[in-house]
């Protein structure tokens, strides 16, 4: 059994090793942005989840390590392309790839990362490898669908809570779930047990994303990392805004829509005004309850997993940490 911190260190070392190998490859213009992206750091959450899923069933970490690199490389591929599409200029306090290099670089280096992720994945020796590749592919398709929905919602006013939950399921939750299930399959867990772990990850992922939305408005500036109120300023149709519009009185709705349509406003004033309406509507509590409901579901799946309680402790700890955002 490895601790979460040990796994984080192990996977990070492996990613940095692979990144420096890639840096030596030709053409340099293709691989430099890959290296840049992988060396930017980050929490390495997805590979750690994969290794935790694997470690429930096997201690031979080296058999799953290439797959853990694969899921991180895949995740970073989505960041390269999403950042172009969302015109994001900064990630992890550094210029995004299309800003640091060029848009063409971000497209093509992103593409090669998608295929590198398959190459790493297939280094794993396992009877279940084809199943894992299939799961990975299905997940990748869903992540694209989630990103499309996210972009579509920017143009739409009639986004329901159900629409939103479906979007974050596809864009965020399925990849966390995929990591856990892939790890379990590589550790030779049965399809049934591995699917159980998938459901744990799916519910955890939903709670995780909703928590991120909640902290964007109600978090502590010191520990959150991003600017508080960013979603409000961007009129992002998060669970908070959708529930607010759903539950608002005619007067409250009118105020909200006015703030969404307004241009040339003072940022602080808009954040305070919208937050005030959220408070009137108890949106913080509504969202927290939803997070809790997903968290409870994830716990239930974890409890019923036919694995030693000792071994589950890591997953329990990590999921608690993820939702408190201490990391």
Residues 6+ away with beta carbon under 8 Å from 191: 131, 185
Place of tokens 């890639």: 22
CB closer to a copy of itself out of 170 and 323: 170
**Binding of residue 160 to a copy of itself (CB under 8 A):** no
Contact between 289 and a copy of itself by CB under 8 A: the answer reads: no
Closest by alpha carbon to 46, among 17, 80, 78, 18? 78
CB of 162 to a copy of itself, least distance (A): 13
Question: CB under 8 A: which stretch of 100-108, 243-251, 307-315, 317-325 binds a copy of itself?
Answer: 100-108
**Least CB distance to a copy of itself at residue 137 (A):** 4
Shortest Å, Cβ 25 to a copy of itself = 8
Interacting residues with a copy of itself between 111 and 130 (CB under 8 A): 111-112, 114-116, 118-119, 122, 129-130
- 278/3 Cα distance (integer angstroms): 39
Query: Out of 12, 94, 148, 293, which residue is the one contacting a copy of itself (CB under 8 A)?
Result: 148
**What element of type H or E holds 50?**
helix 45-55
Quick check: 88 binds a copy of itself (CB under 8 A)?
no
- How many residues make contact with a copy of itself (CB under 8 A)? 33
Tokens 């995004």, residue located = 96
- Tell me: does residue 296 bind a copy of itself (CB under 8 A): no
User: From the CB of 115, what's the least distance to a copy of itself, in Å?
Assistant: 4
- Name the nearest CA neighbour of 188 among 31, 44, 63, 10: 63
Integer-rounded Cα Rg, in Å, for the chain is 20
Residue 25 or residue 268: which is nearer to a copy of itself going by CB? 25
Closer residue to a copy of itself (CB): 144 or 307: 144
Is 149 a binder of a copy of itself (CB under 8 A)? Answer: yes
Tokens for 250, please give them: 């005619």
* 149 neighbors 167 (Cβ within 8 angstroms): yes
DSSP string, 142-178: HHHHHHHHHHHHHH-S---HHHHHHHHIIIIIHHHHH
Is residue 63 a contact partner of residue 124, using CB atoms and an 8 Å limit? yes
Name the residues that contact a copy of itself, by CB under 8 A.
Answer: 26-27, 29-30, 81, 84-85, 104, 107-108, 111-112, 114-116, 118-119, 122, 129-130, 133-134, 137-138, 140-141, 144-145, 147-149, 151-152
């Amino acid at each position: 059994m490895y601790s979460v911190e040990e796994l984080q260190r192990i996977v990070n070392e492996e990613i940095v090793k692979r990144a420096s190998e890639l840096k030596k490859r030709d053409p340099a213009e293709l691989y430099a942005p890959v290296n840049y992206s992988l060396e930017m750091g980050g929490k390495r959450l997805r590979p750690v989840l994969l290794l935790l899923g694997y470690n429930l069933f096997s201690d031979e970490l080296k058999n799953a390590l290439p797959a853990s690199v694969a899921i991180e490389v895949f995740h970073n591929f989505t960041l390269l392309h999403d950042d172009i599409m969302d015109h994001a200029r900064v990630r992890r306090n550094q210029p995004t790839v299309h800003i640091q290099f060029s848009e063409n670089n971000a497209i093509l280096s992103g593409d090669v990362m998608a295929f590198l992720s398959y190459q790493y994945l297939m280094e794993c020796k396992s009877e279940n490898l084809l199943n894992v590749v299939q799961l990975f592919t299905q997940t990748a398709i869903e992540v694209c669908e989630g990103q499309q929905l996210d972009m579509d919602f920017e143009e739409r006013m009639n986004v329901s809570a159900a629409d939103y939950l479906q979007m974050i399921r596809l864009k965020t939750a399925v990849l966390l779930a995929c990591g856990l299930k892939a790890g379990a399959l590589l550790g030779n867990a049965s399809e049934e047990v591995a699917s159980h772990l998938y459901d744990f990850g799916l519910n955890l992922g939903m709670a995780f994303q909703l928590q991120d939305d909640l902290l964007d408005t109600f978090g502590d500036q010191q520990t959150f990392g991003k600017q508080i109120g960013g979603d409000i300023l961007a009129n992002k149709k998060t669970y908070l805004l959708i529930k607010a519009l759903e539950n608002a009185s005619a007067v409250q709705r009118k105020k909200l829509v006015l703030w969404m349509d307004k241009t040339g406003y003072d940022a602080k004033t808009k954040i305070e005004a919208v937050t005030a309406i959220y408070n009137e509507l108890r949106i913080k509590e509504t969202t927290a309850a939803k997070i809790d409901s997903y968290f409870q579901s994830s716990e239930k799946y974890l409890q019923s997993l036919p694995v030693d309680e000792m071994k589950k402790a890591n997953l329990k700890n990590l999921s608690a940490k993820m939702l408190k955002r201490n990391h």
